[in-house]
Amino acid sequence: MTEECFPDEFVWGVATAAYQIEGAVTADGRGPSVWDMLCRKEGAIWAGHDADVTTDHYHHWRQDVALFRELGVGGYRFSIAWPRVQPDGVGAVNDKGLGFYDRLVDTLLEAGITPYATLFHWDMPLAVYHRGGWLNRDVCGWFGDYAEVVVKALGDRVHHWLTLNEPQVFVGCGHYDGRHAPGVRYSMSEMLRCGHHALLAHGHAVQRIRAHAASARVGYAPMAFPKVPRTEADEDVAAAYRIFGSMRQATHWNLPWWTDPVVFGEYPEDGLRVFGKDVPAFPSSDLAQINQPIDFLGLNLYDGQVVVSGADGEAEVVPHPPGAPITGFNWPMTPEAMYWGPKFAYQRYGKPIAITENGVSLRDWPSMDGRVHDPQRVDFLNRYLRNLHRAVAEGVPVEAYFHWSALDNFEWADGFRERFGLIHVDYQTAKRTPKDSYYWYRRVIETNGAALLGVEAASAYTQRFEVERKRVASILEAFPNADR
Ligand code: FCB
């Protein structure tokens, strides 16, 4: 690798999830999911939106793959809808549903795009929820059976698998604060039980994948919760790393509770302490079952918390300063998280890393010229990817980067308010319009990252305003001091 770019085998990709893009919720025998149920619940989704149609990818997937091919991605991370494959969650397999992914995989391969399939991105079959969902220990075996069906069908062509997407969110938001499907507010101990079963289900799925696709590379995609030292002084770096790997509060918003059992075969001690009596009782053999070897650790990474070593040496979180950049979702923009996140995760877990999600929501719309100009996305990505490059250049084994998202889509409880895509979608017509960032990312991919390293890349889209910008600059120059 030269300093200017990423390793030759680095995978530049885009990511989506079935429920957010597919639509066609009753087509070809698909069963209902917990999200279909939540979408029917008054007040659950922003502005009463639902995902019955969303981008209608189920009927536009060929066009979408063609756009991904033109983008030049090496990998596409998508998820498989369990209720399409097994409408009742257990038993009968719906060949039509499975057939959709079968064709998708073939078409991706023809386009030279490596499929990365996620088995679970939150759309649990409603019938499984009616049998207790994640609270019922039997779900672990059912999920294993589902994984086996999928891997038997696709494992000859799909060599990269992810088991669960963000257990912190589907367990915590779904079963504790109730914002996500199934929208219940269990007690802390019930939520932790659900979480334990999800981890166990992960273990079952890994075993089934290995049993039916011997050469598969298997990963897991938790939310990353990166920490960023405020300065690069040793004490700040050490403080940030300490917080990254510790659990100081009884909350599901952390990485170690969800990743230590997977990689080390044990829950973190401080987590057991803070959760105390709420930790579910389970047979000790569960930990070995959860601790199946994984080949890479996925990180969904959007922002990080800044940490400083305080006066008494205690690690302290520094709030995002007032007015500092935030995204459409009001998430802080913290590009350094893309350096420290993978670095700390590798330091703690020792697994190769794939950035399974990263991106930004903005209020994009087609301009009068018919194009979608999103310079803030370009700037955001330029900053984050330069930080990723720094991690890679320093030897952190990051194999892949999947931009969230390929196209605008249904953002869960926030409906269609948030637009994360490189491709704009008009939800009334299903019309796709690649945004400026799509063309920019295309150039990044084409140059294997070299295009990131010149500032021209980020400013290219505003250069046509050169004359106006000069005029404004001269106005500013005329008033060199702030008015007093
Ligand atoms: C992640 C989810 C993904 C998407 C992004 C914005 O938490 O995994 O589906 O909603 O956030």
Three-state SS sequence of 31-43: CCEHHHHHHCCCC
Give residue 460's pLDDT.
55
Cα of 363 from ligand 1 centre, angstroms:
17
Give the model's confidence band at 341: pLDDT under 50 very low, under 70 low, under 90 confident, else very high.
Answer: very high
Ligand 1: atom nearest CA of 361 is 6
pLDDT in tens, 243-263: 999 999 999 999 999 999 999
Contact by Cβ (8 Å): 30, 125:
no
Cα of 284 from ligand 1 centre, angstroms:
32
Ligand 1: atom nearest CA of 359 is 6
Cα of 255 from ligand 1 centre, angstroms:
16
Cα of 113 from ligand 1 centre, angstroms:
22
- Residue 316 is a catalytic residue: no
**Hey, how many other C-beta atoms are within 10 angstroms of the C-beta on 234?**
10
Give the model's confidence band at 288: pLDDT under 50 very low, under 70 low, under 90 confident, else very high.
Answer: very high
Percent of the chain with pLDDT over 90: 90
Closest Cα partner for 306 from 265, 261, 276, 340?
Answer: 340
Contact by Cβ (8 Å): 306, 228:
yes
> Pairing mode, if any, of strands 305-309 and 315-318?
antiparallel
pLDDT in tens, 310-321: 989 899 999 999
The pLDDT of residue 4 is above 50: yes
Give residue 347's pLDDT.
98
The pLDDT of residue 221 is above 60: yes
Give the model's confidence band at 484: pLDDT under 50 very low, under 70 low, under 90 confident, else very high.
Answer: very low
- Residue 235 is a catalytic residue: no
| Residue count (the chain) | 484
Ligand 1: atom nearest CA of 221 is 8
Contact by Cβ (8 Å): 142, 132:
no
Cα of 412 from ligand 1 centre, angstroms:
8
Ligand 1: atom nearest CA of 166 is 8
Contact by Cβ (8 Å): 445, 103:
no
Cα of 280 from ligand 1 centre, angstroms:
28
- From 120, 166, 360, give the residue whose CB has the most ligand 1 atoms within 8 Å, as the site to mutate: 166
Give residue 452's pLDDT.
86
Cα of 483 from ligand 1 centre, angstroms:
44
Give residue 482's pLDDT.
54
Instruction: State mean pLDDT over 224-233.
Output: 98
Instruction: State mean pLDDT over 74-82.
Output: 99
pLDDT: which is higher, 46 or 467: 46
Percent of the chain with pLDDT over 70: 94
Any idea of the CA torsion for 472, 474, 475, 476, to the nearest 10 degrees?
A: 90
Instruction: State mean pLDDT over 257-282.
Output: 98
Cα of 417 from ligand 1 centre, angstroms:
13
The pLDDT of residue 475 is above 50: yes
Q: Which domains does the chain have, with CATH numbers?
A: 11-477 (3.20.20.80)
Average pLDDT, the chain: 94
Cα of 464 from ligand 1 centre, angstroms:
34
- From 45, 362, 412, give the residue whose CB has the most ligand 1 atoms within 8 Å, as the site to mutate: 412
Give residue 480's pLDDT.
61
Give residue 308's pLDDT.
98
pTM above 0.75, yes or no: yes
Ligand 1: atom nearest CA of 418 is 6
Residues within 6 Å of ligand 1 by CB: 17, 20, 165-166, 169, 300, 357, 404, 411-412, 420
Give the model's confidence band at 477: pLDDT under 50 very low, under 70 low, under 90 confident, else very high.
Answer: confident
Name the closest-CA residue to atom 9, ligand 1. Answer: 17
Name the closest-CA residue to atom 10, ligand 1. Answer: 411
Query: Residue 76 contacts by C-beta under 8 Å, 6 or more apart in sequence?
Result: 13, 14, 15, 16, 65, 68, 108, 113, 114, 115, 116, 406
Taking the CA atoms of 242, 244, 250 and 256 in sequence, report the sign of the dihedral they define. Answer: negative
Q: Which residue among 166, 399, 411, 418 is the active-site one?
A: 166
Ligand 1: atom nearest CA of 17 is 9
pLDDT in tens, 362-420: 999 999 988 999 999 999 999 999 999 999 999 999 999 999 999 999 999 999 999 99
Burial of 25 (0-12, 13-18, 19+ CB in 10 A): buried
Q: Which residue among 22, 336, 357, 411 is the active-site one?
A: 357
Give residue 1's pLDDT.
42
Name the closest-CA residue to atom 4, ligand 1. Answer: 411
Taking the CA atoms of 361, 363, 368 and 373 in sequence, report the sign of the dihedral they define. Answer: negative
pLDDT in tens, 79-119: 999 999 999 999 999 999 999 999 999 999 999 999 999 99
> Phi and psi (nearest 5°) for 125?
-55, 135
Ligand 1: atom nearest CA of 20 is 9
